[in-house]
Amino acid sequence: MKEKELRNLIDGHLRENLDLASAKKLSDHLSESADARKLYLEMTDLHASLAVDEALWVKQPEWAEKEETKTITSFRSYIPWALAASVVFLLSLFLFPKPKEDPTFALIKDTYSATWEGGDLTTEQGSRLRDGTLRLSEGLVTLQFDSGAEVTLEAPVSLKLIDSMKCELINGTAVTYVPESALGFRIITPEADIVDYGTRFSVTVFEETGETHTRVMEGKVQVEYTRTGEIVALSAGERHTVKGNGFAIPPAETFRELGTIPDKPLQHGPEWTFFESSKDAFVGRRPNHLFVTDDKEVVDLLKDSYDSDVHNHNSKVLLLVKNAISQGPMNRQAYVSFDLSGIDRTQIEEADFLLHFAPSGWGLASHLPDSTFNVYGLAGEVSDWDEASIRDEFPGTPETVYLGSFVLAKGVQKGRFGVRTEDLTNFLKARTHSQVTFMVMRETKETEDGGLVHGFASRRHPTLPPPTLAIRLKTP
Partner 1 sequence: MTVESTESGSGSCTHKDFIRLFLEAEKDLLRYVMVLIPNVADARDVVQEAAVALWDKIDQYDPNKPFAPWACRFALNEAKMFLRKKARQNRLSDEAVDLLEIERMENADRLDARKDHLRECLRTLPNKNAELVKDYYFNELSVEDLGKRFERSVDAIYKTLQRVRQTLHACIENKIQMEAKL
- Residues in contact with partner 1 by CB under 8 A are 7, 11, 13-16, 18-20, 22-24, 26-28, 30-31, 34, 37-38, 40-57, 68-69, 73-74, 76-77
- Nearer Cβ to partner 1, position 15 or 227? 15
What Rg value do the Cα atoms of the chain yield, rounded?
Answer: 30
Residue closer to partner 1 (CB basis): 31 or 475 = 31
Least separation in angstroms between residue 13's CB and partner 1 is: 6
Q: How far is the CB of 36 from partner 1 (least distance, A)?
A: 9
Query: Residue 407: which residues within 8 A CB-CB, separation 6 or more?
Result: 370, 371, 372, 373
C-beta closer to partner 1: residue 131 or 295: 295
* Complex with partner 1: residue 7 or 474, whichever CB lies closer: 7
**Using CA atoms, how far apart are residues 294 and 198, in angstroms rounded to an integer?**
24
For partner 1, which is the closer residue by CB, 69 or 432? 69
Question: How far apart are alpha carbons 304 and 302 in whole angstroms?
Answer: 5
Distance CA 289, CA 359 (A): 15
Minimum distance from residue 324 beta carbon to partner 1 (Å): 22
Residue 351, C-beta contacts closer than 8 angstroms, at least 6 positions apart: 420, 424, 425, 428, 469, 470, 471, 472
Q: Of 59 and 264, which CB lies nearer to partner 1 in the complex structure? A: 59
For residues 449 and 330, is the Cβ–Cβ distance under 8 A?
A: no
Give me the count of residues in the chain: 476
368-405 CB burial, b ≥16 within 10 A, e <16: beebebbbbbbbeebeebebeebeeebeeebeebebbe
Q: What are the residue ranges of helices labelled H in 57-118?
A: 62-70, 78-95
Beta carbon nearer to partner 1, 11 or 62: 11
**Cβ at position 449, least distance to partner 1 in Å:** 18
We find the least distance from the C-beta atom of residue 452 to partner 1, in angstroms, to be 30
Q: Chain centroid to CA 357: how far?
A: 17
What is the biggest distance separating any 2 CA atoms in the chain, rounded to whole angstroms? 101
* Minimum CB distance to partner 1, residue 285 (Å): 25
| Complex with partner 1: residue 233 or 310, whichever CB lies closer | 233
Q: Minimum CB separation from partner 1 for residue 83, in Å? A: 14
CB of 12 to partner 1, least distance (A): 9
Torsion sign across C-alpha atoms 182, 187, 192, 196? negative
